[in-house]
Each structure stands twice: as structure tokens, then as C-alpha cells.
Amino acid sequence: MASTYGAAQVLVASNRGPVSYAVGEDGSLNAKRGGGGLVSGLSAIGSDADALWVCSALSDGDREAVRRGVGEDGVRMLDIPADVHAEAYNGIANSVLWFVHHMLYQTPLEPVFDAEFRRQWASYETYNRAFAEALAEEAARGAAVVVQDYHLTLVPGMLRELRPDLRIGHFTHTPWAPPEYFRMLPDDVAGQVLRGMLGADRLGFLTQRWADAFVTCAEGFAGGLGGTRIGVHGLGADADFLRERSHERDVAERMAALREEIGQAPD
């Protein structure tokens, strides 16, 4: 019997994708490689691996590309409403989860979990659900899905419910807070984050200390790891891309500005 699912055997999910678009003065769409360390680190995954990268449409150009049906092979951009994306990305991911994991709050004045937080948390749930549904739709039976970072902590659990046949991984590119700091989150939210992550078959962290912190949180607030395995993996950069990028004009201009501001580095 033919599969009812899509064809992708390897899927990557992240907020920022490998390409971005800008609308030219003549209305044309111009594509360029997406920025950020994640794109460099995962650049080896391409069409030869029967792969699909699912990401957010971040700019007006990205959203216009989705609406026109324009896109790169192996990339699916999600046109999540701009207000939902802003609340999920800025309101929760970067203003709550990032601060928790980096232990940056000015306690006891912060954080404040009020009605505004709850509204933004609902957007974070919607944003994660959009990714889970897209991945479920696009993945071949038994495909491998690699979810990236604190923006998408709920996706593994949501996707597991939709597609129990998939192999799901999640990689965290930031620290993970120790339990005494993580517990500042409301109990239900902390539980959602942990259960979402534990929907994965394997969770990856950059250091053993951060992996251990997650395990302690899971044991303390979610009843343990269940069948989820934990790994520690260093993530390298795309050296060829960085070497080439270093010779481009805007980099040279930025270097000149820095030298003017702080002086020439000693030999």
C-alpha cells in the first residue's frame, strides 16, 4: 500500500532557515543564505540526503515568497502570523526561556508571570504546533526529525502524538538551567517544556553539565526521562563558508570600523 505521508527521510526544524528573501524595488524576490550559527552548523544536510528543512518565514520577503509559492528545494517556510511569531519568539523564547537558561533574571524583581505572559505562552504553543503539524505532514514513514533549540521545546511531544512512527531528536544550542533556577517557571509551563522535550527519542546538549541539568530537572519535575536518551555533542562551524565570508565587502567595512573604534590589534 502506498504511503499517505510525504517523501522526506530527514527533516530539520528550526526558527531560522537556510535561506531568506528580500523584495526588490521591482517586486522581484532575492534569495540569500540565512544567517546564524545554526545554519552554518547544519549546512551539510542537503537534498542529497532526501532532506527537508522546515523553518519560519521571518521577514516580509519570506512571507511573500511563501504566498507566491517561491522557494528553495528542500525548504518549507511556515507563514505563521507575524503577531503569533513575535509573541512566541520575542515574548517567550527570547525573553523567558533564554533568560531562564542563562540565569539572567534580576531576582527577586523578575520574572513576572502575569496575564500577558499567559497570552504569549498560548502563542508559543500555537507556533510549536504549526511546526509539529508541518513535520507530520512532510515526513516519510519512519523518517528522522531533528528539532532545534529552545524555540521549539514543545514540538517533539506534539509530533510524537501525531506521528509515533518517526525517530525524533532535539538539540539544545544553549545552556540548560539548573533545577533551582528552572523551577522559577510556573509548574504547568515547566512541565509542558519538559514533557515536550521528552517526546524525543534522543536529546542533544553541547556540554555534559547542561545535559546533567536537564536530567535533574526531568527527574524532579517530570518523573524522569522515560525512554529518552541523552547525548553530548559538540557542534562545529562551516569553515569553508566562514573563510569565504570573511573576504566579503561588508565584513571588511565592519573590520575597518572596529579598528577605527578600538585600534589595531597587536601582532
**pTM summary value:** 0.84
The reported pLDDT for the residue numbered 6 is: 65
Task: Pick the closest to residue 13 from 84, 81, 76 (CA basis).
Answer: 76
Q: Give the angle subtended at the CA of 38 by the CAs of 33 and 42, to the nearest 5°.
A: 80
Task: Pick the closest to residue 14 from 157, 123, 164, 169 (CA basis).
Answer: 169
- Give the number of other CB atoms < 10 A from CB of residue 52: 26
Cα 51 to the center of its chain, rounded Å: 17
The reported pLDDT for the residue numbered 41 is: 46
Rounded CA-CA distance 58/170 in Å is 21
Rounded CA-CA distance 246/173 in Å is 24
DSSP single-letter state for residue 159:
H
Task: Pick the closest to residue 168 from 194, 126, 197 (CA basis).
Answer: 197
- Amino acid, single-letter form, for residue 232: V
Task: Pick the closest to residue 69 from 21, 128, 36 (CA basis).
Answer: 21
- Cell numbers for 178, please give them: 539548573
- Give the number of other CB atoms < 10 A from CB of residue 44: 11
The reported pLDDT for the residue numbered 118 is: 98
**Is domain 8-80+127-261 given the CATH code 3.40.50.2000 in the classification?**
yes
The reported pLDDT for the residue numbered 8 is: 86
Rounded CA-CA distance 204/238 in Å is 19
Q: Return averaged pLDDT per consecutive 10 residues of the chain, 267 residues in all.
A: 65 94 85 62 56 94 90 91 97 97 93 97 98 97 97 98 98 97 97 98 97 98 96 80 86 89 72
